[in-house]
Amino acid sequence: MALALVACADQVGDGFDRRPGDPDRTPTTFATNLDVVILRTASSLERLAIGVYDAISGLGVVETPEVQATIDLFRNHHRDHAALFDAATNSIEIDSAFTDSNPVIAARLRPRLAAIRTENDALKLAYEIETIKSSTYFSTVGSFGDRKLNQAVMSVGGIEARHVTVLGDLLRSTASPPYPADGFATNQAAVVVGTGV
Amino acid sequence: MAQEANDVAPTVFAESLELSVMAIYVEAVQSGVLRPAISDVVNLFARHHQEHADAFGAASDGKQTGQAHPGVLLALRRRLERVVVDGEAGVLTLLVDIENSLAASYMFTLGSLVEPAAMMVTASILPVAGQHATVLAGALGRPVGALFTGAFETDAERFDPADFPVPTETTVKPPTLSSTSTTMSSSTTSIATGFQP
């Protein structure tokens, strides 16, 4: 049976410790509800993407109207995705949605963001983030206790894959293929569920 | 372990869908209205669809048919015949619609599948259908805003077996991939036209 990889208790605990709010919540509460862990991870990745697109827009490196239109559209998509994941989380455990950018992945990507000098640099980072997200959402399918969430996560995962294609086509590089050569999505770039949340 | 009975019918139908779509892709190339670069991509996508059919077949608990769905194939052939007079744009528009309908079909299926293995196969193919649609829509010169109908994949416009009655005439024979004359690249070819602002 396919199961999403779950971060160790330390990582789940770290995310909880930084979270303000209910003193009665414990890492165990989150760790025992995998659906909540997955959804919190998803929310964090959506907010990571929003933050990166905001940062890119503020750098002044985007020169092409088509690229700016792409960034604006994708950022709006990610806001809707975050809202979906937040609502799904809260419907399971009230006030449990993760409302920050994923701190672990953000720390990993911060040097890349700081190194952006050109529009192409920005597109490469956007491509990587969308690839991480589409791969992560695919990796969670089959792991949910509530089977309806498989549909929910792929309603987003499918769009992230389309984002990858748009960005890959803009980049026109063999390092950024617009679709998998063998025709199947993979979990190769997936974030371990629970990381940072 | 025997496949959940619930999962067999959708995966068998999916296998037949993929074989139907593969056949139409082959016939689209054979129509002669596609530029060489686009024919190459369409041929690659036809190969993907064959592999998708094989994957669904493997997940069908021995019930795979190895056959295109006669009703779907007939309906798609009739649409191809109508649009080929519009040249490349007409054919590509049809292929975009087909890919979007495939993605919608798999979104619908995910809502009913029980076995994680069947879910994973479906989820590994759903995003690629969307990526195919995005590539082909880009070849039509659609701007990024026109590449998405929204922030989420949906099951609207899916292939519903009830809409495709099996014709009474004898077996509708699809072409095979081996009948294509162009070589298919295993690389992820970006269509030269790219996306237009």
Decide if B137 contacts A167 (C-beta within 8 A): no
Measured at the CA of B179, the angle between CA B174 and CA B181, to 5 degrees, comes to 140
CB contact under 8 A, A76 and B151: yes
User: Are A159 and B153 an interchain contact pair (Cβ–Cβ within 8 Å)?
Assistant: yes
Interface probe with B: pick from A71, A165, A170, most Cβ of B within 10 Å = A165
The architecture CATH gives domain A34-171: Up-down Bundle (1.20)
Q: State the pLDDT at residue B165.
A: 79
Distance CA(A103)–CA(A94), nearest Å, equals: 22
For the segment B56-65, the average pLDDT, to the nearest whole number, is 93
CB contact under 8 A, A158 and B119: no
Q: Would you call B48 and A70 a contact, using CB atoms and an 8 Å cutoff?
A: no
Task: Give the predicted TM-score (pTM) of the model.
Answer: 0.87
CA–CA gap between residue B137 and residue B131 (Å, rounded):
10
Contact call for residues A9 and A194 (beta carbons, < 8 A): no
B195–A77 CB contact, under 8 Å: no
How distant is the Cα of A122 from the closest Cα of chain B, in angstroms?
17
- How far, in Å, CA of A43 to CA of A188, rounded? 20
Give the Cβ contact number of residue A24 at 10 Å. 6
pLDDT, tens digit (0-9, with 9 covering 90-100), for B87-129:
999 999 999 999 999 999 999 999 999 999 999 999 999 999 9
CA distance A164 to A160: 6
**Cβ distance of A166 and B138 shorter than 8 Å:** yes
Task: State the pLDDT at residue A97.
Answer: 96
Helix, strand, coil shares of chain A as percentages rounded to 5?
65, 0, 35
- Residues B101, B163 contacting (CB under 8 angstroms): no
Which residues of A fall within a CB distance of 8 Å from B53? Answer: none
Q: Does A63 touch chain B (CB under 8 A)?
A: no
Query: Which H/E stretch holds residue A70?
Result: helix A65-92
Q: What is the pLDDT of residue B3?
A: 57
Domains in chain B with CATH codes: 5-148 (1.20.1260.10)
Nearest to B172 by CA among B67, B98, B90, B96: B67
| Nearest Cα residue in chain B from A144 | B116
Read off the pLDDT of each residue in B71-76 and give the average, rounded to a whole number.
96
What rounded mean pLDDT belongs to chain B?
A: 88
Among B153, B157, B184, most A C-beta atoms within 10 A, so best to mutate, is: B153
pLDDT at B31 over 50: yes
* Tokens encoding A59: 């750098």
Contacts of B114 in chain A (CB under 8 A): 147
> Which of B81, B97, B87 is closest to B137 using CA atoms?
B97
Count the Cβ atoms, other than its own, within 10 Å of residue A147: 16
pLDDT at B178: 56
Contacts of A71 in chain B (CB under 8 A): none
What local confidence, expressed as pLDDT, does residue B197 receive?
Answer: 34
> Residue-wise pLDDT tens for chain A (197 aa)?
334 444 433 333 323 333 334 433 334 344 459 999 999 999 999 999 999 999 999 999 999 999 999 999 999 999 999 999 999 999 999 999 999 999 999 999 999 999 999 999 999 999 999 999 999 999 999 999 999 999 999 999 999 999 999 999 999 999 999 999 999 999 999 999 999 99
CB contact under 8 A, B152 and A134: no
List, in sequence order, the alpha helices (H) in chain B: 5-30, 36-58, 70-83, 87-110, 116-139
For B132-176, write each residue's pLDDT tens digit: 999 999 999 999 999 999 999 999 999 998 898 777 755 556 666
Parse chain A into domains and list their residue ranges.
34-171
A49 near B CB under 8 A: no
